[in-house]
Amino acid sequence: MKSKKITQKTLKKAGLPPESLVYVGDKIKKEKVRITLFSYNEKDFEEKECADIEECLQFIEKKNNVKWLNIDGVHDTRIIEKIGGLFNIHSLTQEDILNTEQRPKVEEYPEYIYIVFKMIYPDGKGNELLFEQISIVLGADYVITFQEAEGDVFDPVRDRMRTGKGKVRTMGADYLAYLLMDTLVDNYFIILESFGEKIEDIEEILLTNPQSGTLHKIHNLKWNLLFMRKSLWPLREAINNLIRSESALVKKSTFLYLRDLYDHTIRVVDIIETLRDITSGMLEIYLSSISNKMNEVMKVLTIIATIFIPLTLVAGIYGMNFEFMPELHMKWTYPAVLLFMLGVGVGMVFYFKRKKWL
């Protein structure tokens, strides 16, 4: 269950001075930090993996190039501090990068814009969602991305850089930041797609044979949608802030792209809302199908009891040991009683048929 995870990460930090650089995140993501650098302009392109940030320095200082520095793993506070020093990143931003429980947001600082996004992917079993925080620092001619672990959804962007496909090599750092955000938002659609499939499965079960396990499936879906909504809802405002920002770091020409990104974000949130409504509807159907089943069971019980209990009384009466029961001594009474019982039984069945209980 995820309820614990929501709150636990933040705990480690409480009690420390506000700008203390302490990593707050899941331990399972703590592998070695990997630093990769892309440096490019329309003609030039370099890609490098650096063992340490110093190794990358000469590339970073190159003028006229857009630099994309990607850090996989934010648990090594020393590296974050070094990069922070190099790029003049405020200690509060550094703290936010390390604390991976931020809400998506856009914060303007004089020398850079700090953007927090969530990367979402299903866990191995496909029942839960994992949320990874992506911090994007957009400077004048560089973009730095901090990820919690290796593996991301940015490979298409990398491919386009390498091959020079698309506009990315001809545009500035702000376009690169846009491209990364757009890729992340595109990824949300894929996650939602898989939800659509799950909903279809549950709908089919609901129509045929709803069971108590179905309820847990619906709730699992509901909670996944809830967590996803919580993670993406602030995006709208964040991107809107970016659009209305007057920072020189975002060029006019990028405006149309950001508006498009905003549009996508609204659509994501919209789809989540729709899926939530559908999930609620499925819950209602599930609950009333339980009621209906109960009704069915009760009807069977009532029909059986109503037919057989009176007949049992009749049999009981003729099982009494009174001395003077003249009908017991007549030849035709036994078959008559049997016929009478059959008649009552059949009559009852017809009665229930007419009342639509059968």
Span 141-180, contacts to its own copies by CB under 8 A: 156, 160, 165-168, 178-179
β-strand partners of 134 = 117
Closest CA to 262 of 281, 238, 295, 279: 238
| In the complex, minimum distance from the CB of residue 243 to its own copies, in angstroms, rounded to a whole number | 13
By CB under 8 A, residue 244 contacts its own copies: no
| In the complex, minimum distance from the CB of residue 254 to its own copies, in angstroms, rounded to a whole number | 11
Which residue stretches of the chain are H helix?
3-11, 53-60, 77-87, 91-98, 155-163, 173-208, 212-244, 255-317, 333-354
Structure tokens at 322: 């009174």
When the beta carbons of 35 and 180 are compared against its own copies, the nearer one is: 180
Please state, in angstroms and rounded to a whole number, the distance separating the CA atoms of residues 310 and 341: 9
Q: Which of 51, 57, 140, 325 binds its own copies (CB under 8 A)?
A: 325
Q: Which of 302, 340, 346, 350 binds its own copies (CB under 8 A)?
A: 302
By CB under 8 A, residue 357 contacts its own copies: yes
SS3 of residue 246 by DSSP: coil
Q: Which amino acid makes up residue 232?
A: L
- Interface with its own copies in residues 11-30 (CB under 8 A): 11, 13-20
When the beta carbons of 55 and 308 are compared against its own copies, the nearer one is: 308
Helix (H) or strand (E) holding 116: strand 113-122
Q: How many CB atoms lie within 10 A of CB 139?
A: 19
Q: Which of 151, 277, 339, 350 binds its own copies (CB under 8 A)?
A: 277
Q: Which of 63, 244, 246, 320 binds its own copies (CB under 8 A)?
A: 320
By CB under 8 A, residue 208 contacts its own copies: no
The answer for 171, left when phi > 0, alpha when psi is -120 to 50, beta otherwise, is: beta
Q: Which stretch binds its own copies (CB under 8 A): 61-69, 75-83, 238-246, 281-289?
A: 281-289
When the beta carbons of 140 and 338 are compared against its own copies, the nearer one is: 338
Q: Which stretch binds its own copies (CB under 8 A): 34-42, 65-73, 124-132, 260-268?
A: 260-268
Q: What is the DSSP letter of 249?
A: T
Closest CA to 195 of 184, 206, 203, 183: 203
